[in-house]
Structure 1
Amino acid sequence: MSRKHPIIAITGSSGAGTTTVKRAFEHIFRREKIQPAVVEGDSFHRYDRAEMKKAIAASDPLRPISHFGPESNLFDKLEELFRTYSETGSGKVRLYLHNDEEAKPYNQTSGTFTPWRDIEPGTDLLFYEGLHGGVVTESVDVARWVDLLIGVVPIVNLEWIQKIHRDCAERGYSPEAVVDTILRRMYDYVHYITPQFSRTHVNFQRVPVVDTSNPFIARDIPTPDESLVVIRFREAKRVDFPYLLAMIHDSFMSRPNTIVVPGGKMGFAMELILTPLIHEMITHKK
């Protein structure tokens, strides 16, 4: 962790909805005139798209590799980036080009990586969004370098519904292919994704109030108004709960360190909660 070069990380599994949190941070950065170094977690995968297909086919069917686990990620390089940035304000990054639109400016094909490059000097903080912002293994401890770790954790049935709909609509996969991916990733999900949420400073968990008991046949993703957001703080003493309850209509406390807000207020709640934390970071940095 570093006061001079702070690091913020959003962590959540594929389809969890980390983009919503990322958008809230973008609003805060723009409003507060903060220049972040933005890092996407996908850029620290070990294999490009074609290589990953081959690696999956060659892996043990009883313990297949997945994007959630250490075999297909550069956890050591991610920790090295966080450590180097916290010490110097720089580090090595690259981009993963998800589609043809992203790949065109680089004259590359989709599903490949750009070359490694140094972070431009003069950034105020590093902002990571991906699968492994708080990952810890026997040889790697990424979480130790993060100053503010945010977990995005919809209940698992909702997470699967969001992933199935996203991968089918945006990536052209069949529902059966997405379900196969969910099953293949289950070991790594349990051992490398969920443990991170015990290390986070704040967790945002969306809970639907409609029936999601069979996520594999759900036709629609529950809307924000059809859900609640459970927000858990690791350090409740630092949170002004009376202020949040007054500002967020229909919110309530469910535990001494947990506030529940209407799903439609999730973005607003994030900005109320995260803005003072970022203010504190920048104040310490200066």
Structure 2
Amino acid sequence: MSKQHPIIAVTGSSGAGTTTVRRAFADLFRRLQIQAAWIQGDGFLRHERSAMRDKIDAATTQSRRFSHFHPDANLLDKLEALFLEYAQSGTGMTRNYAHDDAEAARFGTQSGKFTPWQALPADTDVLFYEGHHGGFSQPGSKTAKRIQIAEQVDLLLGVTPSVNLEWIQKIHHDCGRSGCGEQLVIDTILHRMPDYVDYIVPQFARTHINVQRVPLVDTSHPFVARDIPGADESIVVIHLRDPRQFDFPELLKKIDGAQMTRRNTMLVPGGKMTLAIEIICTPLIAEMIAARDTVTG
């Protein structure tokens, strides 16, 4: 953690809604005139698309599990090193991964490929990470290196929709972007479920804020659902780890339709998710920047 170079991370699986949270922070940063270094978690994958498919096929043949969630499929030591360097000096190296042709054109590479490693922009105010491992923690052992990414993060958000909703969103997302078949996406979901339980779920116990979207329509059979439940067809559960940081009566006034379900848990309409994140996080970020300015001043 660093007052001078704070780090914000959003963690969750593909289809969970981390991109929605990132957009909320982009609006928040724009309003507060904050310059952010944006980090894509997939840039720290170990393998490009074709090599990853080969690794998964080989693991399946040997009755082993291997997915994008697994530590061995990622360069988590490099991600931890980036967070440590940024916290100390506001610098570091990152790269991007092109998921589709549109991103390939934007990044100047091919779909399924990485860009070269490059330095972060100079003079940024915060680092913002979106990916699978922003809250990852692994004690050292004879077979595994100690990795403590979560310890470097100043504000950690987990995005955890109900499982069926997450599956529906992933099927629509992956089939629409990469053109792969629905059955392939279903196989991927089932294959990586043990890694999700072992490596993603524990991160949500380390977060400062958890955001969970819950559908209000029938999603009992997610693999035949034709549509993703819309914002008005869902509610959002927001859990705040330390309720002492927040003025809940004031939050309820600012978010129409919000209510408290526990002393540190709010329920907001699905259409108010982005607004709620901005309202909740704006004073936290403003406090971060004020502390940073005090140090740099």
- TM superposition score category, shorter chain reference: over 0.9
Q: 1:106 to 1:10 in 2, by over 3 A?
A: closer
TM-score by length of 2: 0.94
1:35 aligned partner: 35
Deviates more, 1:201-210 or 1:99-108: 99-108
Shift of 1:63: 2.4
1:9 aligned partner: 9
Residue 180 in structure 1 maps to residue 187 in structure 2: yes
Report SS of the residue matched to 2:38: strand
Matching of residues 150-229 of structure 1 within 5 Å: 150-229=157-236
Report SS of the residue matched to 1:8: strand
Shift of 1:64: 2.2
2:125 aligned partner: 124
Shift of 1:105: 5.6
Shift of 1:107: 4.9
Count matched residues. Answer: 286
Shift of 1:104: 3.3
1:268 aligned partner: 275
Identity of matched residues, %: 56
Report SS of the residue matched to 1:42: helix
For residue 260 of structure 1, what is the amino acid of its counterpart?
L
Residue 52 in structure 1 maps to residue 52 in structure 2: yes
Superposed CA deviations along residues 45-82 of structure 1, whole A, max 9, x for unmatched, are: 00011111111122244322100111110111110100
Matching of residues 226-237 of structure 1 within 5 Å: 226-237=233-244
Deviates more, 1:20-29 or 1:111-120: 111-120
Shift of 1:95: 1.1
Shift of 1:180: 0.3
Report SS of the residue matched to 1:10: strand
Report SS of the residue matched to 2:10: strand
Q: Work out the CA distance in 1 between the residues paired with 2:238 and 2:106.
A: 39
Q: Work out the CA distance in 2 between the residues paired with 1:185 and 1:228.
A: 27
2:115 aligned partner: 114
Deviates more, 1:196-205 or 1:246-255: 246-255
Residue 83 in structure 1 maps to residue 84 in structure 2: yes
Shift of 1:135: 0.8
Report SS of the residue matched to 1:13: coil
For residue 117 of structure 1, what is the amino acid of its counterpart?
Q
Q: Work out the CA distance in 2 between the residues paired with 1:249 and 1:193.
A: 32
Q: 1:237 to 1:106 in 2, by over 3 A?
A: closer
Structure 1 residue runs of 5 or longer lacking an equivalent are none
Q: Alpha carbon RMSD of aligned pairs, Å?
A: 1.2
Shift of 1:187: 1.2
1:74 aligned partner: 75
Q: Work out the CA distance in 1 between the residues paired with 2:107 and 2:257.
A: 48
Shift of 1:170: 1.7
Residue 278 in structure 1 maps to residue 285 in structure 2: yes
Structure 2 residue runs of 5 or longer lacking an equivalent are 140-145
1:21 aligned partner: 21
Select 2:151's aligned residue among 134, 137, 144.
Answer: 144
Shift of 1:120: 2.3
Superposed CA deviations along residues 131-183 of structure 1, whole A, max 9, x for unmatched, are: 11101122211100000001111111110010011111221121111110001
Superposed CA deviations along residues 105-150 of structure 1, whole A, max 9, x for unmatched, are: 6653211111112212201010001111101122211100000001
Q: Work out the CA distance in 1 between the residues paired with 2:240 and 2:64.
A: 34
